[in-house]
Amino acid sequence: LSRRQQNRIDALRDIHRAAFDLTVAGNSPSVTVEAISKRAGVSPRTFFNYYRSKEDAILGLQPPTVREEQLDALSGHGSEGLLIRVLMLLRDVIKDSIMPVGNMADKTDLAEFPKLFDLLPDARQRLRAHMVACENAAQVAVVAKLESNAFADVELDNMPDAEESARALIVLAGAILRFTYYHKPTEIFSSAPSRLEASVQIFKKVLKETL
């Protein structure tokens, strides 16, 4: 990372930590942008250069993007099927768009979100809207790949059009991620996602036996 990129990441993390700690540790849903900015050592004007709202800062949300290496992995022709590759894409898009919570160094702390939901009535709705934005970003990438015939390992002639196919893949991927989160939120972004793999196997069995 360049110095400028690292400085941005540090500022995002510092503001998020301040917002999260003031809200949860202080058990205060009425924390203000001014209080967050003071705790993080920035001005309120600088705050809005990094987060669109107090809720986004508390949750650590950034606009979702799809990186070039993620697109390359999506087009890969390994042993994983297209649905699994879309699942990994969506998981990584979500992962990249959420800063680590509090002082923790990894993404396993999504289990902390229920604390915020109890304190902030709008937090759950904001997170849902963010997840929809992540799904939309991933769907655009999948549509582009389908339309460019980038999947040599997929029989596209037997699938619906690109928009419908991409949406179906994203809906299934999102369902698997939510299923995993409900069972084991600390493993959804793990580098060894045993629970996520177990969820995939459950969905495979259920679909096989019920279709």
Nearest CA-CA partner of 200 in 176, 172, 184:
176
pLDDT for res 117: 80
Q: How far apart are CA 103 and CA 160, in angstroms?
A: 45
Q: Check: CB of residue 29 under 8 Å from CB of residue 120.
A: yes
pLDDT for res 163: 92
Query: Residue 20 CB: number of other CB atoms within 10 A?
Result: 25
Give the C-alpha distances (Å, rounded to integers) separating 19 from 55, 113, 145, 157: 9, 13, 38, 50
Q: Which pTM value belongs to this model? A: 0.86
Tens of each residue's pLDDT in the chain, 211 residues: 788 888 988 999 999 989 988 888 777 777 899 999 999 999 999 999 999 998 899 989 999 999 988 888 888 766 678 898 999 999 999 988 988 654 444 444 566 677 788 888 788 888 889 999 999 999 999 999 888 887 776 777 778 888 999 999 999 999 999 998 887 776 777 766 678 888 999 999 999 999 8
pLDDT for res 108: 42
Q: How far apart are CA 28 and CA 21, in angstroms?
A: 10
pLDDT for res 106: 46
Q: How far apart are CA 191 and CA 170, in angstroms?
A: 21
Residue-wise pLDDT tens digits, 47-62: 999 999 988 999 899 9
Query: Residue 193 CB: number of other CB atoms within 10 A?
Result: 18
Nearest CA-CA partner of 144 in 75, 77, 92, 91:
75
pLDDT for res 79: 65
3-class secondary-structure state, position 61: strand
Q: Is the dihedral of CA 15, 21, 24, 28 positive or negative?
A: negative
pLDDT for res 26: 74
Q: Which amino acid is at 174?
A: G
**What are residue 61's phi and psi, to 5 degrees?**
-95, 135
Q: How far apart are CA 50 and CA 73, in angstroms?
A: 29
